[in-house]
Structures are given as structure tokens and as C-alpha cells.
Amino acid sequence: MNKFLAELFGTAMLVLLGCGAVTIGGLGPVLGGGQAFAPLATISIGFAFGITVMAMAYGIGPISGCHINPAVTLGVWASGRMQTSEVAGYIISQLIGAIVGAAILSILLSGRGEAWTGGLGQNGWGQGYLGAYGTPAAILTEFIATFVFLVVILGVTQKNGGHPATAGLAIGLTLMLLHLPFINITGLSVNPARSLGPAIFVGGQALAQLWLFLIVPSIAGLCAGFIFRAKIFEA
């Protein structure tokens, strides 16, 4: 139960702090408005998500491994490092945590003097969303980014040749790096739970496009896991 509560807490903080940087921090309008400070907003949002993952890795990592991401759980399971009996509990906890984080963020934003209509940092693609990239670009982006993310996670945490002491730093910096080229395409998810939480409260297009962020990162996580299971990337 401690593992599941840790995953719930960690995922809630990822959504609250990461998406909070977009919304409460006011970085979303800067990023999507084509302004001169858009590159700085990209770095800042990537920093918020990356540092949150790093902090949670050191905070709850000793308890649950700090997956806080269904794609990571599937990748760890596919690599043979996790019991099948724990997978469902991890993923359910992560999804609930993301909803809790988005709910807290929604409550905080409702405290503004005027109604908040800027969304909750939801993922998406196509016309009206950041760079207006099409569906093929969105699918490829989420697959590549999630695959790279899982390769780093599984590589740095492997028993032989891994670096567990600095794993949180490496994983957090990788997530930050992935935002730089990909945020304008999908807002960068690489995490089904991170996409689910905001989409539930925003509805509309965010909910209609949720399928991509549930399916593609999950498949990418499984692919990375099976590659490690086959010892292709094992030390």
C-alpha cells in the first residue's frame, strides 16, 4: 500500500507543479503566443517537469521506485524488473494521482479574481494548439520521446553499469531536454497519467485527443522494456 500511495502522491505533484508552471506561472500564453520569450517559457516548463521528477525520485524512489507514469511502469514490467501483480495497482494509483493533482490545480486557478479560461496545461496537437502539427507528427513525437525517456530510466537504474545515486538527476534532466524540441508539437506528454488529469477537467478537444497520449507512450514504454529484457541495451 505504501508503494501505491507514493505513486499517487508523486503523480499528483507532477501534474500540480508541472502544469502549474504552465498555468499559475503564466508560461502557457507566452509559449503559445509566438512571443520573443517563448524559448524561455519552453525551458522553464521543461525545468518544472524535470525538477519535479528529480525531486520525487529522491523523495519516493526508495518506496516505490518513483514511476509516477504508466508508461514507465509498463516499461519496467516489460524489462522483467517488476512483478505482474503490482502493475495494475501502480497504474491505477498514478491515474488517480494525476486527477487529484489536476483537481487541486483547478481549485487554485478558480481563486483568481476572474474566471480562468486558459486550460490546465493539457496536451494536444493540430490546429489551434501551439505549432499546429498534424497527427502523424504527434504520434511519432510521443513514441520517440517516451522511448528515449524509458531508455534513460532503464539504463541508469540497471543493476550492472547503472548509476542509482545520480538516477534522479539524469532522469529529470532528460525530461527537461525532451521538452526543448517537442513541446510545440504535443506539449510533450510521455506520460498517460499526466495527460489524463488535465483532460478530464478541460474536456472538449483535450478529452477527444486523449487516446493518443494513453496509447502511444504506453506502447513506447513496452518497446523500451522489451529491448532491455532482450539484453540489447543491458550492460
The confidence score (pLDDT) of residue 37 equals: 53
The confidence score (pLDDT) of residue 17 equals: 97
Q: Averaged over 16-32, what is the pLDDT?
A: 84
CATH 1.20.1080.10 corresponds to the domain 2-229: yes
The confidence score (pLDDT) of residue 104 equals: 97
Q: Biggest alpha carbon distance in the chain?
A: 56
Work out the pLDDT band at 159, boundaries 50, 70, 90: confident
Residues 6+ apart with CB under 8 A from 84: 77
The confidence score (pLDDT) of residue 32 equals: 59
Taking the CA atoms of 81, 85, 90 and 91 in sequence, report the sign of the dihedral they define. Answer: positive
Residues 6+ apart with CB under 8 A from 183: 31, 42, 45, 46, 130
Mean pLDDT of the chain: 92
Tell me: pLDDT of 161 over 80.
Answer: no
Kindly state the DSSP code that residue 166 receives in the 8-state scheme.
G
Q: 30 or 76: which carries more pLDDT confidence?
A: 76
Q: Averaged over 79-95, what is the pLDDT?
A: 96
Tell me: pLDDT of 31 over 70.
Answer: no
Work out the pLDDT band at 34, boundaries 50, 70, 90: low
**Which amino acid appears at position 89 of this protein?**
G
Tell me: pLDDT of 84 over 60.
Answer: yes
The confidence score (pLDDT) of residue 33 equals: 55
Element (H, E) at 117: none
Work out the pLDDT band at 163, boundaries 50, 70, 90: confident
Report long-range pairs for 21-29 (Cβ below 8 Å, ≥24 apart): 21/45, 21/48, 21/49, 21/121, 22/48, 22/121, 23/105, 23/109, 23/116, 23/118, 23/119, 23/120, 23/121, 24/105, 24/108, 24/109, 28/118, 28/119, 28/121, 29/118
The confidence score (pLDDT) of residue 30 equals: 65
Which of 13-17, 21-25, 224-228 has the least mean pLDDT?
A: 21-25
